A = this chain, B = another copy of it.
Amino acid sequence: MIEHCLINDLLKAVVRAGHSNTRARRAVLRALCEADGQATPIQLLALGRAHLPSLGLVTVYRTLDILSELGLVRKLHLDEGCSTYALSPAGVQQTADDVRTLAASAHAHSHHVICQRCRRAVEFAGCDIQMLVDAVEMQTGYRVTEHWLEMFGLCPDCQARGAAAGEV
């Protein structure tokens, strides 16, 4: 689970954006942190109901929408479906800053490495593919303004587990 203070940072950002501080929203944020910042709406509902049994799935979706607009959360595109949300580190670091700054970067490119076995995703910093972008622009005639990159593999834990079990 992610540090407790993060919940308050997220909440602060949500409130600053003009939304109110409600019990249901707190439950969703708490669930998101307990899931290490990464879960599907259904998983968040289950986690959130542990603290607020009356929590509804609709509210989970609506809260994710808000977080998404603020750039605090991102949708991951996995092959099996595109309904996993992950906390955006960029957002986490800046929750104390101006919300508008965040919103502006909400749709910038995001980059995750995703474990093929346990599904855990980590956002990585620094993405220098400008050379590749240039090459593609030349090759295709497109003017490229954004890109979206995801890597897949095994996280450290699963590498260890795999080795122990003698697999892969």
Contact = CB atoms under 8 A, between A and B. Distances in A.
A128 B128 CA distance: 12
A1 interface: no
A22 interface: no
Interface stretch (A2-10, A56-64, A150-158): A150-158
Contacts of A154: 142-143, 145
A139 B125 contact: yes
B151 A150 contact: no
Assembly stoichiometry (copies):
2
A19 interface: no
How big is the A interface, by class?
A: 35 or more
Nearest to A150: B148
Contacts of A156: 141-142
Contact of A150 (B115, B116, B147): B147
A146 B151 contact: yes
A153 B145 contact: yes
Given A137-B153, A147-B149, 17 more contacts: A75-B79, A77-B148, A81-B82, A113-B140, A113-B142, A113-B144, A115-B142, A122-B142, A124-B140, A129-B129, A142-B156, A143-B154, A145-B153, A146-B153, A148-B150, A148-B151, A149-B149
10 contacts: A113-B136, A124-B140, A142-B153, A143-B153, A143-B154, A145-B152, A146-B151, A147-B151, A147-B152, A148-B149
Interface of A: 75, 77, 79, 81-82, 113, 115-116, 122, 124-129, 132-133, 135-137, 139-156, 159
